[in-house]
Structure 1
Amino acid sequence: MKHYFAEFKADAVALYESRPEATIKQVAADLGINPETLRTWIRAAGSGRPRGRRSTAPSSAPVEPSTLEAEVAALRRENAG
């Protein structure tokens, strides 16, 4: 079983929350982690998004793709170290 730093977990949850269009599966794949691991961290953080058709889009603006790529790369480096 792999152990992750608390900061990595928090950053992964924040990345998921900053990407309203992305699924847990997509964000987990970007970070190279299991989707269920990310889902557990999201639940533990008390975060998450409304589910289903009736959910409304978050009011925050989407993050630029170049910023997301930089965040993902930073999280991967942090996790590898």
Structure 2
Amino acid sequence: MKFVSSKKYPPELRERAVRMVAEVRDQHESEWAAIGAVADLLGVGTAETVRKWVRQDQVDAGARPGTSRRS
């Protein structure tokens, strides 16, 4: 069974989380540790949610292959 969360996070929180991960990355031993710390600080349900936001931002910026949300 696949769990689908109905919790919606505002775009401002997503953008802040992505910025924070970039800012604190060098203070942690891995990107995953930084993502987890940011998720905890901002009260996001799981670190995986923040990881997805970071990856999508990388795609949107052209730093990672994938489908961009930007037009």
Q: Do residues 31 (structure 1) and 42 (structure 2) align?
A: yes
Count of aligned pairs between the two proteins: 47
Q: Which gives a bigger RCO, structure 1 or 2 (Cα 8 Å, sep 6+)?
A: 1
Structure 1: tracts of 5 or more residues without a match: 48-81
* Divergent runs of 4+, >2 A: none
Output the CA distance in 2 between the equivalents of 1:30 and 1:13: 13
Give RMSD over aligned pairs.
1.5
TM-score, normalization: structure 1?
Answer: 0.52
TM-score, normalization: structure 2?
Answer: 0.59
Q: Do residues 5 (structure 1) and 5 (structure 2) align?
A: no
Structure 2: tracts of 5 or more residues without a match: 1-5, 29-33, 60-71
